[in-house]
């Protein structure tokens, strides 16, 4: 059985993305809640308006900290002020750097669920990441039959009830990570590609209707951000050098002092 990749405390150097390097940072958003105002100050006007539309304080705080953390992490890789980083979005909503003039532009993706966030970075390839809190109250079979590929639905049906929920969320995070890496949003239906999902089966893209060679040049990797969560990373590379680290208050404050 494939062992999910775990997250460790960062070691130096942390901001080197040469070659086939891929970095994923895990952030406990609630750990930064007391610094919400500092993160809000780095956001664009559009991001601040989006934060104000949340009905509940917790959702607004998570959004502000997640967006602010993304900006601080981007500033570490790029240098400069987090508030001066300008983001643009493709037709399907995937963010990118709007002012990148680098030969190998920094590529990134983010996901958060119930207080935990993941941020993936690479220069040589597209990346996508997804994290989900595993919930027992989700109607996994009904959702799978509506959105998953027939082969995935059939695989889920074969599992005993106590395995089905975890298998569903493992499949969901792998599929979402791939969709996000492709940057095609809902225009890439979840039933148009197949990922592995059986217990003990290695995480993998098995087929994609719109790209018959996709399985040969995409890698899916399961991540273990915390107990009760499942996550996956999609990388357009079959030989990436993956590093997974935690980004806590100590790391953030140390980096902030260094910039000051």
Contacts of 176 (CB under 8 A, 6+ apart): 111, 128, 130, 132, 232
What digits encode the pLDDT tens for the residues 208-234? 999 999 999 999 999 999 999 999 999
What's the whole-model pTM score?
A: 0.95
Alpha carbon distance 126, 182 (integer Å): 7
Alpha carbon distance 42, 1 (integer Å): 42
pLDDT at 57: 84
Q: Which residues of the chain have pLDDT under 70?
A: 1-2, 101, 257-260
| Type and span of the H or E element at 247 | none
pLDDT at 3: 77
Is residue 126 within 8 Å of 181, Cβ to Cβ? Answer: yes
Taking the mean position of all CA atoms in its chain, how far away is CA 238?
A: 18
pLDDT at 258: 62
Is residue 180 within 8 Å of 234, Cβ to Cβ? Answer: yes
**In angstroms, what CA-CA distances link 239 with 128, 204, 216?**
16, 14, 11
Helices (H), the chain: 36-40, 45-52, 57-78, 140-147, 150-157, 161-182, 214-217, 249-259
Alpha carbon distance 64, 70 (integer Å): 10
What digits encode the pLDDT tens for the residues 122-135? 999 999 999 999 99
pLDDT at 1: 46
Is residue 246 within 8 Å of 23, Cβ to Cβ? Answer: no
């Amino acid at each position: 059985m494939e062992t999910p990749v775990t997250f460790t405390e960062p070691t130096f150097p942390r901001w080197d993305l040469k070659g086939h390097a891929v970095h994923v940072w895990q952030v406990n958003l609630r750990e930064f809640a007391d610094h919400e105002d500092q993160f809000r100050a780095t956001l664009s006007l559009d991001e601040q308006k989006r934060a104000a539309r949340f009905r509940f304080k917790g959702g607004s705080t998570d959004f502000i900290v997640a967006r602010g953390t993304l900006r601080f992490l981007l500033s570490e890789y790029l240098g400069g002020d987090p508030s001066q980083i300008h983001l643009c979005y493709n037709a399907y909503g995937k963010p990118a750097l709007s002012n990148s003039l680098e030969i190998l532009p920094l590529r990134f993706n983010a996901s958060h669920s119930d207080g935990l966030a993941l941020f993936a970075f690479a220069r040589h390839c597209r990346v996508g990441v997804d994290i989900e809190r595993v919930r027992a109250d989700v109607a996994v079979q009904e959702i799978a039959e509506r959105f998953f590929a027939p082969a995935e639905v059939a695989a889920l049906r074969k599992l005993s009830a106590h395995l089905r929920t975890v298998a569903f969320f493992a499949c969901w995070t792998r599929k979402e990570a791939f969709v996000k890496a492709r940057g095609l949003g809902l225009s890439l239906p979840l039933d148009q590609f197949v990922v592995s999902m059986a217990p003990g089966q290695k995480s993998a893209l098995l087929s994609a209707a719109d790209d018959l060679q996709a399985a040969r040049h995409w890698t899916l990797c399961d991540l273990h951000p915390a107990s009760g969560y499942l996550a996956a990373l999609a990388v357009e590379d079959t030989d990436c050098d993956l590093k997974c680290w935690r980004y806590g208050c100590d790391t953030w404050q140390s980096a902030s002092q260094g910039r000051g």
